[in-house]
Amino acid sequence: MPSHQRIDVSKVGDVTVVRFNDRKILDETGIQQVGAELFSLVEQDNRKSILLNFDGVEFLSSAALGKLITLDRKVKSHKGRLKMSNIRREIYDVFLVTKLNKVFDIRDDQAEAIAAF
């Protein structure tokens, strides 16, 4: 299993749970690293059920949202499913405004998201 700098990866049953190590996902370098680490879960590790747990993430830039959209496409093209949980209100508002709450399956907490797979 590759080592990750920006994310923490664990398994709950068949679900790969990803937590973010950074509270603020803002700078271009960090976003590129997060994207590469997330994409490798799908492309190299062939993970099919991925849950992004945003617990502890305080800010997400629009460039980071772009990476999430790309990740969603990659997961779907590999016949997998992507869900998100524990998104704080300020970040969720951005998902609402951009209508990404319709694109992503967003659950209140990790247990609910895992049960939804």
Q: Rg of the Cα trace of the chain?
A: 13
Domain count along the chain: 1
Q: Are 34 and 18 in contact (CB under 8 A)?
A: no
The pTM for the full model equals: 0.96
Domain presence at residue 1: no
Name the one residue in this structure whose structure tokens are 């190590």.
21
Domain presence at residue 64: yes
- Residue 1 pLDDT greater than 60, yes or no: no
Tokens standing for residue 109: 């907490």
The two most distant CA atoms of the chain are separated, in Å, by: 37
Domain presence at residue 2: no
CATH of the domain at 41: 3.30.750.24
Burial (CB count within 10 angstroms: exposed 0-12, middle 13-18, buried 19+), residue 111: exposed
Domain presence at residue 85: yes
Domain span holding position 83 = 7-115
- The pLDDT tens digits of the residues spanning 22-67 come to 999 999 999 999 999 999 999 999 999 999 999 999 999 999 999 9
- The pLDDT confidence band at residue 3, using thresholds 50, 70 and 90, is confident
Could you give the CA distance from residue 85 to residue 105 in angstroms, rounded to a whole number?
9
Domain presence at residue 13: yes
